[in-house]
């Protein structure tokens, strides 16, 4: 059977909303199918080429952003601050590892959430769970929780506006390496991470001055004044993805492209190899992420890869492992061994967030920074002992000074969680916790490349 953007409709799907009025959904899908693409085939191919480098250990993926973007917290300053923290993290990693860092945001489309329960009960009242702003509203009342297809259009529009700003930041001067000192956010000024960051920034400035003396400046070398920045989100709402899937007729690598983001990933709850989500992802040319939780069986992973990447193309698949800080030691080696036996090309990435979610004694959903760092560390150790390559990290963060994850150098305590807990879904690292993660990963890559393990 020939794949079409709508082939997924012939398969079972889970985690997708049921709308009260089917005709309204149809008209929204029709409108979306006429909207301009958000990303272009040439950019998607460029990302795939970079990911092929990461697969061979010659680049490293830095993928981060909100768990769920929101309509109400949408602001230019918010996007700018997240972008700046990601730039800082990338500088720390590039400086430490001396390899290119592939920057991918969980941004400009990350609005739909899979949930472990279909309903939420508060004070005896049962309502549908909140599933992300592109589906329903977080507020706890009947109207707010009703899925509304108009939100698909609103999500598209916010994504377009976000991407417009990101492209300006990446290419219009903000990412200029000469501004490396200006990326530090005010609230990060007095943290130990910022002192360490300043040291690196000083050395980069010295190198830039030296290059200037040799006649190389950011006006003559575009690589110094611009950066590549890619977008990604979970491909959960297949009708939205279908409407934005377009056939490329211009570039050499013709075919169908998801144009809602450069990279799409499938969540841990929707990755059944014989279901609709995998069917959709199997037909697009974009690189695809697959979340690998502790319940993923090694043979099912091979079935998934046979379906999503039948030609075993390099740079096509990123396996985003989210096992938990201890479980990673038990589960990851099994997956790696089987991938080796079957000769599959994949890039191994570590999501140290989703296997380490806990409930604090005061009820907040949170994560301990120490466990997050521990999972990354163990991920590197497992790769060292299996002789394979750690290719990237995937995490939830924000440029705002939130108190959602416990610990870190600034020691967020359980009693602090309530003060700035703003996430629309999972707890995110704040700026200083993100930099802490970047310094750890930088050290890990450095020792790994020097052959010392971690």
Q: Which residues bind ligand PEP (CB under 6 A)?
A: 67, 114, 267-269, 291, 322, 354, 426
Question: In the complex, what is the shortest distance from the CB of residue 67 to Co ion, in angstroms, rounded to a whole number?
Answer: 3
Which CB sits closer to Co ion, 5 or 289?
Answer: 289
Give the residue from 335, 269, 349, 350 showing the smallest Cα distance to 302.
335
Can you point out the beta strands (E) in 47-133?
A: 60-65, 101-106, 119-122, 125-128
Which CB sits closer to ligand PEP, 384 or 394?
Answer: 394
Binding characters for Co ion, 136-165, by CB under 5 A (x = yes) = ------------------------------
Which of ligand PEP, Co ion, none interacts with 436 (beta carbon under 5 to 8 A by kind)? none
Question: In the complex, what is the shortest distance from the CB of residue 292 to ligand PEP, in angstroms, rounded to a whole number?
Answer: 8
Which CB sits closer to ligand PEP, 96 or 276?
Answer: 276
Burial class (CB in 10 A: 0-12, 13-18, 19+), 223: exposed
Question: Are residues 281 and 266 in contact, defined by beta-carbon separation less than 8 angstroms?
Answer: yes
Which of ligand PEP, Co ion, none interacts with 368 (beta carbon under 5 to 8 A by kind)? none
Which of Co ion, ligand PEP, none interacts with 66 (beta carbon under 5 to 8 A by kind)? none
**Alpha-carbon span 363 to 249, nearest angstrom:** 52
Footprint of Co ion on 43-82 (CB under 5 A)? 67
- Is residue 426 at the binding interface for Co ion, with CB under 5 A as the rule? yes
Give the residue from 136, 97, 169 showing the smallest Cα distance to 19.
136
CA angle, 39 as apex, 35 and 40 as ends, to 5°? 105
- Is residue 112 at the binding interface for Co ion, with CB under 5 A as the rule? no
**Enclosing H/E stretch for 225:** helix 222-225
Instruction: Give SS3 for 400.
Output: coil
Which of ligand PEP, Co ion, none interacts with 268 (beta carbon under 5 to 8 A by kind)? ligand PEP
Q: Read off the tokens for 185.
A: 């956010």
Question: In the complex, what is the shortest distance from the CB of residue 25 to ligand PEP, in angstroms, rounded to a whole number?
Answer: 23
Instruction: Give SS3 for 386.
Output: helix
Instruction: Give SS3 for 103.
Output: strand
Which CB sits closer to Co ion, 316 or 424?
Answer: 424
Question: In the complex, what is the shortest distance from the CB of residue 405 to Co ion, in angstroms, rounded to a whole number?
Answer: 12
Q: How many helices (H) and strands (E) does the chain have?
A: 13, 14
Question: Are residues 266 and 278 in contact, defined by beta-carbon separation less than 8 angstroms?
Answer: yes
Which CB sits closer to Co ion, 67 or 278?
Answer: 67
Q: Which residue is nearest to ligand PEP (CB)?
A: 267
Which CB sits closer to Co ion, 82 or 227?
Answer: 82
Residues contributing to the site for Co ion (CB under 5 A): 67, 426
């Amino acid at each position: 059977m020939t794949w079409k953007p709508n082939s997924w409709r012939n398969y079972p799907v889970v985690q997708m909303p049921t709308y009260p009025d089917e005709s309204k959904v149809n008209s929204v899908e029709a409108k979306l199918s006429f909207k301009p693409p958000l990303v272009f085939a040439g950019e998607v191919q460029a990302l795939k080429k970079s990911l092929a480098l990461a697969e061979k250990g010659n680049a490293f993926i830095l993928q981060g952003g909100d768990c769920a973007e929101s309509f109400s917290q949408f602001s230019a300053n918010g996007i700018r601050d997240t972008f700046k923290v990601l730039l800082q993290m990338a500088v720390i990693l590039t400086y430490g590892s001396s390899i290119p860092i592939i920057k991918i945001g969980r941004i400009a489309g990350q609005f739909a959430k899979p949930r472990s329960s279909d309903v939420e009960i508060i004070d005896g009242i049962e309502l549908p769970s909140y599933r992300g702003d592109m589906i329903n509203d977080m507020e706890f009342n009947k109207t707010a929780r009703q899925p509304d297809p108009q939100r698909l259009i609103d999500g598209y529009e916010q994504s377009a506006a976000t991407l417009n700003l990101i492209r300006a930041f990446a290419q219009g001067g903000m990412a200029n390496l000469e501004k490396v000192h200006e990326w530090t956010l005010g609230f990060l000024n007095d943290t130990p991470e910022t002192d360490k960051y300043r040291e690196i920034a000083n050395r980069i400035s010295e190198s830039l001055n030296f290059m200037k003396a040799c006649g190389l400046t950011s006006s003559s070398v575009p690589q110094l004044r611009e950066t590549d920045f890619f977008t990604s989100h979970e491909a959960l709402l297949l009708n939205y993805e279908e409407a934005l899937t377009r056939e490329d007729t211009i570039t050499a690598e013709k075919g169908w492209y998801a144009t809602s983001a450069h990279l799409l990933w499938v969540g841990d709850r929707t990755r059944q190899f014989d279901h609709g989500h995998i069917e959709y992802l199997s037909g697009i040319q974009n690189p695809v992420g697959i979340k690998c939780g502790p319940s993923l069986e090694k043979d099912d992973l091979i079935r998934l890869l046979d379906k999503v990447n039948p030609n075993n193309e390099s740079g096509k698949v990123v396996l985003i492992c989210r096992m938990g800080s201890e479980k990673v030691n038990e589960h990851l080696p099994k997956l790696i061994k089987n991938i080796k036996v079957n000769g599959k090309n994949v890039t191994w990435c570590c999501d140290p967030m989703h296997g380490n979610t806990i409930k604090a004694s005061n009820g907040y959903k949170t994560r301990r920074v120490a466990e997050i760092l521990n999972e990354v560390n163990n991920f590197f150790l497992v790769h060292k002992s299996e002789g394979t390559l750690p290719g990237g990290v995937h995490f939830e963060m924000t440029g705002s000074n939130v108190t959602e994850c416990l610990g870190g150098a600034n020691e967020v305590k359980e009693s602090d969680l309530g003060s700035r807990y703003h996430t629309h879904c999972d707890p995110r690292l704040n700026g200083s916790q993100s930099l802490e993660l970047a310094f750890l990963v930088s050290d890990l890559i450095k020792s790994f490349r020097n052959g010392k393990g971690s």
